[in-house]
Structure 1
Amino acid sequence: MNASIRQFNALLIKEFKEAYRDKRALMVALSMAFFVPVLMVIVVNILIAKNVDNPAIYVHFTGTEYAPKLIKSLQDKNILAFADVPNEDKRQWQQQSIELIIPEHYSERMAQGKVIDIILRADFTEQSLAPPLRRIDGVIQKHSLEIGYKRLLVRGIDTKLLQPIALQIQDTALPSSNAMMISIMLGISLLLVAFMSGLSIAIDSSAGERERNILEMLLCQPVSTLKIVLAKMTCVSSVSVLSIAIMLSLTSFATNFIDLSKLGMSFNIDLATFSVLMLLLIPICFFAAILQLFFAFQAKSFKEAQATVSMLIVVPTTIPYAMMFMDSKPAWLNYAPIAGHSLLMEDIFKGLPIDWFAFAATTAITVALIAALVVILSVRLKSEKVVMALS
């Protein structure tokens, strides 16, 4: 038994030395763990600035003299004339080019109680213009509604007749449940990191060693293929586990730079949440590692292994996105690897009670798949076709 453990330890040390010898490659593998928290801070702060802080919007007005009250309503909401744009922002607003055209007959048709056509001209396919255009539309609609109410009051009609039903909305969601954007971004990123971080090491440890003839020499030694597979899987998955730990730690720190209270949200990764997430995601790291090793060993060359294994990155992104469009999710998704992990992370980030049965079932199924792939790969490594990359 001791000899067997020593063999495994020797194999593991060898794999770690091979994997960690290139510091630049290791930093590239860990780069996403550093990049995602920074990206999240930037994106959320931009969204807060655009949708909550009401920054100035600069519009090319035509016919402002015909509707002074409407222009005043727009100015009160920080929607200003293009002439007021600061010099440093002039190029940006020239490119975006929002135009509001008020017709000459505005006052005449207003007095007659007729509909007035005001033209809002812009590129509505431009994503960056969506918040400004919504704000302009909202102000004009509100101004129009106020005029309509005043007309009814002048005619002696109670405006309450227009609203026979008042819907009182009571949101029972926790403040943490509102942080859906962060939850979705972080959940998918964690799954993506589990599959991406160990990718290069998995390819180098399999197809790379085979091309360098290291694998053939290793298999000539009196050591079982099962130990070789376990050592390689442990080494590859260690990088993914390290990446996830770094990402969660940095995300917890990064949220201090986001004022989520402006969006009515709260988001926090405390020690308990960190521990549960690590417990949930460690099996996924091992699953990703053995899956990558399995496909890399089936490839005939290093380049083919790179192309084949890289396709596995689609798995952790496609499944969560596909579930977002499901109106009613099948019950079995709660226990399936990746799908179940995604749903459990969503509940954890919302601050909801954890379904420990689903947690245990998902983990057990993932571990069973890992064990099956380890056994299958260890058997296949005994085949000369796999070792020599023969057709």
Structure 2
Amino acid sequence: MKSRLLIVYLKELLETLRDKRTLGMLALFTLLYPAMIGFMLHQGIDKSTKGEREGIELAVIGAAKAPTLMAQLGQKNITVKETAPMDEEAIGELLRGKKVVAVLRLPEDFIENYYAMRPARVEVWYDSATDTGPQRREVEDVLQAYGANVASARLLAHGVSPAALTPIQVQRYDTGTNAARSAVVVGSIMGILFFPAFMLSLSAAVDSTAGERERRSLEVLMAQPAHTWELIGGKWLAASTLGIVGVTLELILAHVILKWLPLEEIGMSWSLGWGDLLLVCLVTVPLSLLAGALHVALAMNAKTFKEAQTILSIVIIVPFIPGFVVSFLDLKTADWMYLVPMMSNQTLVKELSKGGDLGAMPYLLTFLCSAIPALLIVAFASWRMKSERYVLAV
């Protein structure tokens, strides 16, 4: 004989799965956020490697005046397109066409100033509204290197060592790994994957409480020989199941995408293994249980379906606030962050992405900080449901 809790759970879950809109929402959130993460990172990788793949085309006016400079540009995979003199309006039109990264113009007095050892002006024209910033900076690096070489040659011609201009030589050693550098970015991006835990359980929780009250089917359910904790427990577990399934699939899909993307092209990495991911999925289960409990308990207080939706649409913003405040204040990771639901999950993923050994305590705290409030909320809702006058609003 099945337990009454299981019967209520299966009944609510079956009714939820019959709703095509709920299934559509589950599929949407499961695919949307990982796809967004993959698309954004892919675009970043594409932009950073565009110069290497396609090369850099640079329009140069007066290229014959600086043959050595043109040779150095060619060594850096920068294609020089010698261009006839043009005015400012024509240069702007050329840049808006996005056929070249920038326009390099050497004025008429360039050679005269160069041989007179006066600063020879070089004009770099570019359009900051385009996405050619990295390629333009490569051109500017070549110009700076060219200027430094000329300065060194002049000093040597006068019997002065170029080393006299650099009394201090700074050597930098970066001990940070790609995983540690990318932890903040990737961890923040992954943090959005936990939000659907609150979105996916909302519809089922509202329909099984405020919706049943409007349809007058809640009275029939309460007349059955079942305890209030069995009724509330079944509704809670049915609503939470959608969140558990959706978030787990999201995390797995995002993990596959991050493993597939060449993050090393932009100095990032994703070091989580499948074992770490399964542990993250496990400790995230209570977050979905907390979301389901919160939705069921609050929707019980609403007299209509629309009122419940309005209340919960405001409440689901609350879990975002702690993470937003921590990010805004740029706080370092602390133990207390593992005691705040949802922020604990975000912190755990961020620290795991650094590749270090966290130990068992962060996992335990992340699990309990959502599991304990979920059980307390369900117990409170079960206690309040004992009052038919309260539940039925009579």
Normalising by structure 1, report the TM-score.
0.81
Q: Does 1:35 align with 2:32?
A: yes
Alignment of 1:257-268 (within 5 A): 257-268=260-271
With over 3 angstroms needed to count, the CA separation of the structure-2 counterparts of 1:123 and 1:13, relative to structure 1, is same
Q: Which residue of 2 aligns with 1:26?
A: 23
Q: Does 1:104 align with 2:108?
A: yes
Which is worse superposed, 10-19 or 226-235?
226-235
Read off the aligned partner of 1:155 and give its amino acid letter.
H
Deviation at 1:168, TM superposition (A): 3.6
With over 3 angstroms needed to count, the CA separation of the structure-2 counterparts of 1:154 and 1:297, relative to structure 1, is farther
With over 3 angstroms needed to count, the CA separation of the structure-2 counterparts of 1:269 and 1:326, relative to structure 1, is closer
Q: Which residue of 2 aligns with 1:332?
A: 336
Read off the aligned partner of 1:34 and give its amino acid letter.
L
With over 3 angstroms needed to count, the CA separation of the structure-2 counterparts of 1:327 and 1:181, relative to structure 1, is closer
Q: Which residue of 2 aligns with 1:46?
A: 43
Contact 1:191-1:316 within 8 A present in 2 as well: no
Read off the aligned partner of 2:46 and give its amino acid letter.
A
- d(CA) in 1 for partners of 2:186 and 2:370? 23
Q: Does 1:218 align with 2:221?
A: yes
Q: Does 1:301 align with 2:298?
A: no
Q: Which residue of 1 aligns with 2:236?
A: 233
With over 3 angstroms needed to count, the CA separation of the structure-2 counterparts of 1:121 and 1:296, relative to structure 1, is farther
Read off the aligned partner of 1:7 and give its amino acid letter.
R
- d(CA) in 2 for partners of 1:60 and 1:149? 27
With over 3 angstroms needed to count, the CA separation of the structure-2 counterparts of 1:159 and 1:308, relative to structure 1, is farther
Q: Which residue of 1 aligns with 2:378?
A: 374
With over 3 angstroms needed to count, the CA separation of the structure-2 counterparts of 1:101 and 1:221, relative to structure 1, is same
- d(CA) in 1 for partners of 2:158 and 2:321? 58
Unaligned runs of 5+ residues in structure 2 are: 84-92
With over 3 angstroms needed to count, the CA separation of the structure-2 counterparts of 1:238 and 1:144, relative to structure 1, is farther
Alignment of 1:80-159 (within 5 A): 80=79, 94=97, 99-100=102-103, 102=105, 103-124=107-128, 126=129, 128-159=131-162
- d(CA) in 2 for partners of 1:41 and 1:184? 14
- d(CA) in 1 for partners of 2:137 and 2:311? 44
- d(CA) in 2 for partners of 1:172 and 1:232? 51
Q: Does 1:244 align with 2:247?
A: yes
Deviation at 1:343, TM superposition (A): 1.6
Deviation at 1:365, TM superposition (A): 2.9
Deviation at 1:97, TM superposition (A): 8.1
- d(CA) in 2 for partners of 1:111 and 1:195? 71
Q: Which residue of 1 aligns with 2:55?
A: 56
- d(CA) in 1 for partners of 2:15 and 2:96? 53
Alignment of 1:177-216 (within 5 A): 177-180=180-183, 183-216=186-219
Q: Which residue of 2 aligns with 1:272?
A: 275
Read off the aligned partner of 2:16 and give its amino acid letter.
A
Q: Which residue of 1 aligns with 2:348?
A: 344
With over 3 angstroms needed to count, the CA separation of the structure-2 counterparts of 1:70 and 1:270, relative to structure 1, is same
Contact 1:41-1:254 within 8 A present in 2 as well: yes
Deviation at 1:72, TM superposition (A): 4.5
- d(CA) in 2 for partners of 1:388 and 1:313? 25
Which is worse superposed, 365-374 or 139-148?
139-148
With over 3 angstroms needed to count, the CA separation of the structure-2 counterparts of 1:366 and 1:37, relative to structure 1, is closer
Q: Which residue of 1 aligns with 2:290?
A: 287
Q: Which residue of 1 aligns with 2:88?
A: none
Q: Which residue of 2 aligns with 1:176?
A: 179
Deviation at 1:210, TM superposition (A): 2.7
- d(CA) in 1 for partners of 2:288 and 2:197? 5
Which is worse superposed, 91-100 or 49-58?
91-100
Deviation at 1:378, TM superposition (A): 2.5
Tell me the percent identity: 25
Aligned length: 381
Read off the aligned partner of 2:304 and give its amino acid letter.
S
- Per-residue CA deviation, residues 149-193 of structure 1 (Å, 9 max, x unaligned), is 333333333333344444443333444334436632553133123
With over 3 angstroms needed to count, the CA separation of the structure-2 counterparts of 1:138 and 1:8, relative to structure 1, is same
- d(CA) in 1 for partners of 2:166 and 2:112? 29
With over 3 angstroms needed to count, the CA separation of the structure-2 counterparts of 1:245 and 1:144, relative to structure 1, is same
- Per-residue CA deviation, residues 98-121 of structure 1 (Å, 9 max, x unaligned), is 653523333333333334554444
Larger Rg: 2
- d(CA) in 1 for partners of 2:392 and 2:98? 59
Deviation at 1:242, TM superposition (A): 1.2
- d(CA) in 2 for partners of 1:91 and 1:99? 9
Read off the aligned partner of 2:202 and give its amino acid letter.
L
